[in-house]
Amino acid sequence: MTNLSEIHVTKTIMNEFLDDFNENILDTDIVIVGSGPCGVTAAKYAAELGHKTVMIDRNI
């Protein structure tokens, strides 16, 4: 069994998060904060118009 330190695990988690963040958030046209009725509607119409859209919500 490999002995992994907490620092190594934390660095791995952060690297995965930052890679995902760079790929999916920074390269978007529109970022919508909130997934309530207005946020969902805005995301739907933005995506239908061809914009790369990301919706962020604390519960998703």
Domain membership flag for residue 1: no
Domain range spanning residue 50?
A: 6-56
Q: Give the pLDDT score at 25.
A: 79
Residues 60, 44: Cα–Cα separation, whole Å: 16
pLDDT score at 46? 97
Between 1 and 22, name the one with better pLDDT. 22
Could you give the number of structural domains in the chain? 1
- pLDDT interval class at 27 (50, 70, 90): confident
Which residues are CB-neighbours of 29 under 8 A, at least 6 positions away? Answer: 46, 51, 52, 53
- The reply to whether 30 falls in a domain is yes
Tokens 């988690």 correspond to 13
pLDDT at 59: 78
pLDDT of residue 21: 83
